[in-house]
Structure 1
Amino acid sequence: MRARAFAIGATSSGAGKTILTLGILAALVRRGLRVQPFKCGPDFIDPSLHQVVTGVSSYNLDLRMMGPEQCRSLFFEKAETVDVVVLEGVMGLFDGGPASTAELAKLLGLPVYLVIDARSCAESAAAVLKGFETFDGDLHVAGAIFNRIGSDRHRELIERSVLQHCRTPVIGWMPRDDVFHLAQRHLGLHMGEEQSLDEEGVARFVTVVEQRLAVERLLVPVALPEMEQPKGQPASARKRRLVKIGVAEDRAFCFYYRQNFELLEKMGFALVPFSPLQDRGLPSDLAMLYFGGGYPELYGAQLAANQSFRAAVRRLFDHGLPIYGECGGFMYLCRQLIDHQGQHHDMVGIFPFATVMGRRLRRLGYRDVTLTRTALFGRTGDRLYGHEFHYSDLDDAGAGQEVVVDGWETCYRLDNNSLEGYTVGAALGSYVHLHFANTPEALDHLRQQLVG
């Protein structure tokens, strides 16, 4: 398969990789090309920004959570009908070891264009490029983009050093200019649906990208590795009677992997959106409620004030309806949320904990989950894969114990030997964001739990 496809990596986080990716995506769209964006790693925010710029869903590719074959399968499936495929990397190019941008680019056969922040250096920037182009002989670093160039003299110093010491061509010199700015907060950039991208600013930035970056150099066709097509259709994906799952979707609950939704739909689930911020009640005939992650801490007062909705959730729980909450969704299902200002907000109250926002990151990293007993997504001993990233924690000193306390117990044992996955009745809550690409049988089990 020959396609125009490439990855955008960086020397480190904060080098300007996301902003440059958005500018490149916008420039490609402006040329009338059909673009399919991807994001390396367990990020929820960057894919939402990709979607705003391109108008199509962006997908995560994560070697740790999904595994190599699932990453390849999704990549080729979505790349088949577009003109250009763009993969935005995560952190520095080699950060994350076996789950790094470099390893993913090698798996997919993608050339990498490296973003280098030249703000506080000159000739030394060439030494950085030299190190990255020689660090892994199996990786194709196809070009360099020097970001935050302060002047023509600054550029000349770097360019002379690069020509003398490096083999990688420079395809872009981006100025040190705040023409395009993305607001940030404790979990990173603002989500795309929050209109964090100013259209006028994007247009100006695209103009700068076209002037300072050789976009046409990115569009050279590359030979991608052959992908064996799946043989037949698995039984779990055949058409079945639709089962409705209610999904919380608004500004407070917006962290979902797009592929998880598609896997649910292939399993015969119909996803019915609702808003804990705006709705007064829930849709009818639901088999389960799904509260994803997001920013409940920013909307604590509004969520608490919507008492009729919280009561509706509680009534369904009391009648035995399965309910699943991840991270922010789990926080909403707890007794109380204590925000950054120390304000206490009453939540649904299914789990007897208060969640307390901290100033520092409490947990960050991949999580391999082993079920210690049968639950919504599997039986005792089954494995699940996910990621944690949160600033809040439980205030209950008993959290993490294996025994039943106040009607709750745990069903997850994580690979760091801690206990997680809190259950009360038919409800399951956890700080771990699960990805189901590598464990589709978990969704088959879910369906059996819901419909028998």
Structure 2
Amino acid sequence: MIQEIKIPRILISGTGSGTGKTTFTIALTKALQSRGLKVSVFKCGPDYLDPGYHSFVTGKTCQNLDGWLMGKESVISSFVSASQGSDISIIEGVMGLFDGHSPNGEAGSTAEIAKWLQVPTIILIDASGMAATFSAIASGIKNHDPQVPIQGFVANFLGSKSHLSIIETASIPLPILGGFPKSYEHSFPERHLGLRSAGPDILTEEKLSFWKNLSEEWLDLNKILEISNSAPPILSESPTIVQEKTKDCKIGIAYDEAFHFYYEENFKKLRDYGAELIFFSPLKDTKLPEVDGLYFGGGYPELFAERLEKNKNLTEEIRSFANSERPIYAECGGLMYLSSEIQNIEGQNFSMLGLIPGRAVMGPKLKSLGYVEVHTEKRTILGEAGIRFRGHQFRYSDLILENEDDSLFSYHIRKRKSEQTTREGYTVSNVLASYVHAHWASNPEIPKNFIDSCRRFKV
């Protein structure tokens, strides 16, 4: 049954990457929390890094909302479910408002999410070095697609309060909700194409307090709350009462500084199908937990390769686990850990698990970035041949195989903008590893099949 659900909400977007969306979202979150509000934060797109910051600040897992990976129904249900118990939900956009999979369509864009969820939208504009031009840019964005519910603008990277006053005077008749001055010393450090992983060394109390105080001084918080409360009810399916399944399958999740790129939706689906998730650290733990399957997500194993290599006890336990034919699934950084060795950017080599016969070699340039669709060409621990699902690649390494044996490959991978396919999905017995970060909302049978594989090979 369809029901109307009232969720105060706003979406923070911008004219492109680098306009300060993540910092603004963190600053606004802290300011609203200081008013006693419970805040849920979401991130458009497939990114793992920004959600880590929002999870750290809110103490609640930040969910990804990705139109191409998930589809409309999953986006709405995930948003509604994860917003429960919060006073306000904030969605951070990806890239610019209208940037998606194609320059001629809205699929995969922040605008698409804004429409699906009917979210009042605030646009950040880099105002450095401009005055009346701010108004021209804001007018163009507002008029480009009137169906996107744009409710205000924020001027970022200002020179002074006087600069903000000039922009307000020259602006179109839409609210200017404030702005932020330039403050490079309080910015968050970056690595590759994004922020460094969240942690107390990055998100210090001093920095968080600075951005909270800046929000209270420079933003019209009352107006922002008024805008969020103006959001119409969301039409959504009534929550299905799911009968509690017996947790007869235990899956070990590698989770620490080296491995922490996971979609929360994947965890939810594993739990929904009867798995108990047990988290462990390949960096710190010397013994595996008692589990029926293992899941190694992405991350930065190359930065911790020496520590991973030295953890001999756990290495031997994982190898014994693989030899028992219990399932092991790995993505990106997890694939690197399962390979024979990692060669870091300085050319140093570190021995890894050796479950996949290849060497992961880091490079200075991006090797792959973008959405992919996977078609399995043979039976794996994720199910029968012919299964399709969607995912994303973001990597600076290549896997140099020791041989090109056909039996090693189980995937055909097609990039979203190409008809050409490549072979990947490395399998050895019940080990399956890939550079693809899979989002299981694209095929909910995947987590079910993985659990079934774990049940079949329980010892």
Which among 240, 249, 272 is matched to residue 246 of structure 2? 240
What amino acid sits opposite 1:144 in the alignment? Answer: F
Give the conservation status (yes or no) of the 8 Å contact 1:369–1:383: yes
Partner of 1:365: 370
User: Matched residues in 2 for 1:411 and 1:53: separation?
Assistant: 38
1:219 deviates by 1.4
Moved over 6 A (4+): none
1:275 deviates by 1.1
**Deviation string for 1:108-159 (max 9, x for gaps)?**
0001100111124332222211111111110111000000111345334433
User: Matched residues in 1 for 2:97 and 2:164: separation?
Assistant: 23
1:437 deviates by 2.0
Please give the secondary structure, in 1, of the residue aligned with 2:186: coil
Give the conservation status (yes or no) of the 8 Å contact 2:342–2:359: yes
Give the conservation status (yes or no) of the 8 Å contact 1:372–1:413: no
1:40 deviates by 0.7
Q: Does 1:351 align with 2:356?
A: yes
Give the conservation status (yes or no) of the 8 Å contact 2:247–2:276: no
Q: Does 1:159 align with 2:163?
A: no
Q: Does 1:57 align with 2:61?
A: yes
User: Matched residues in 1 for 2:287 and 2:15: separation?
Assistant: 48
Q: 1:104 to 1:15 in 2, by over 3 A?
A: same
1:397 deviates by 7.9
Structure-to-structure mapping, 1:42-441, within 5 angstroms: 42-96=46-100, 97-162=106-171, 166-178=172-184, 180-193=186-199, 195-220=201-226, 221=229, 222-230=231-239, 233=242, 238-284=244-290, 286-396=291-401, 403-404=406-407, 408-415=408-415, 416-441=420-445
User: Matched residues in 1 for 2:170 and 2:264: separation?
Assistant: 43
Structure 1 vs Structure 2: percent identity of aligned residues? Answer: 38
User: Matched residues in 2 for 1:276 and 1:160: separation?
Assistant: 56
Q: How many aligned positions are there?
A: 440
Give the conservation status (yes or no) of the 8 Å contact 1:368–1:386: yes
TM-score, normalisation: structure 1 = 0.93
Higher mean displacement: 415-424 or 205-214: 415-424
User: Matched residues in 1 for 2:201 and 2:427: separation?
Assistant: 36
The gaps in structure 2 that reach 5 residues or longer are 101-105
RMSD: 1.7
The gaps in structure 1 that reach 5 residues or longer are none
Give the conservation status (yes or no) of the 8 Å contact 2:372–2:413: no
